[in-house]
Amino acid sequence: MAKTLVMSLGGSLIAPDGLDIDFLKKFRTVIINFVKKGNRVVLITGGGNTSRTYQKAAKKINPKISSTDLDWIGIGATRINGELVSGIFGDLAYESILFDPRKKIKTSRPIIVGAGYKPGSSSDKDAVLSAKAFGAKTVINLSNITYVYDKDPSKFKDAKPQEKMTWHEFKKLVGSKWVPGAHVPFDPIATRLAERWGMNLVVMKGSDLDNLKKYLAGQDFKGTVIL
C-alpha cells in the first residue's frame, strides 16, 4: 500500500561541518527507491549548524537581538538547505519549496520539500503541520541520535535509550518552551501538536541510511517511537 511519509531532515545531516555530499547522494538514492514504489515523501529541512553559526554571529554583533530575529535567521538557513535538497531530486520534486506547511500541494510529483515557516518554533513544527495537511500519521525525525534517552546522557551516566515512549514521557524531556537553536530531540511546540492530533513520532539517526531503509521496508530498526 502506498504511503505518504513526512520527514524532518535535520540540518546537521545536510551540513554538519560544510555540506555532506556523500550523505546527500546516498539519501537521494534511498528516497528515490522509496517513491518509485508509488509512495510520496514530504521532506522538511532544518537549519542545523548553518543556522546556529549565523545566529551566534548575530548575537555577537547585537547582544540584544530578539528571539524573533534569531528565528528569521534560522528560517533562512532552512530555506537554503531546502533549495539544495529539492534540487538534487530534479523533476521528482515539486517545482518550488513549500514555505507554508499548512498548505496541501496538488502535484503528481512524489517528493515535496519544505523549509522554515514562521518564528516561534523550529522546522519540526513545520513537519507536524505538513503531516496534518497531507494526512500522514507519522513524522520521522532524522536526527543525529540513534535513540531518545530517558534523560540527558551528557549529564547522567545512567541514562537509558528508549525504544518506545509515551507523549507524556517525551514532553517531560523536551520541556514546553521553544528556544531558538536549542538542542532537543524535537521541538516542544511540535511535540504538543503531534500529541493533540494523534500522530506518532519516530526519532532515528539520519546518517544510518541502512537503518532508514529497514524502517521504510517495514523491518525492525533502531530508533525511538513516541505514541
Q: Which of 207, 222, 224, 208 is nearest to 138 (CA)?
A: 224
DSSP-derived letter for residue 8 is: E
Q: Are 161 and 147 in contact (CB under 8 A)?
A: yes
How many Cα atoms are found within 13 Å in the side-chain-facing hemisphere of 133?
19
DSSP-derived 3-state class of residue 112: strand
d(CA 119, CA 73): 9
| CATH superfamily assigned to domain 4-226 | Acetylglutamate kinase-like (3.40.1160.10)
Q: How confident is the model at residue 151 (pLDDT cuts 50, 70, 90)?
A: confident
pLDDT bin (cut points 50, 70, 90) of residue 18 is: confident
pLDDT tens-digit readout, 91-134: 999 999 998 988 888 899 999 999 988 887 778 889 999 999 99
Mean pLDDT of 11-28: 91
User: Do 199 and 131 touch, CB atoms closer than 8 A?
Assistant: yes
Could you tell me the pTM of the whole model? 0.89
Going from the C-alpha of 196 to that of each of 24, 49, 168, 226, the distances in angstroms are 33, 30, 12, 13
Q: What's residue 10's pLDDT?
A: 87
Give the pLDDT score at 97: 93
pLDDT at 195: 95
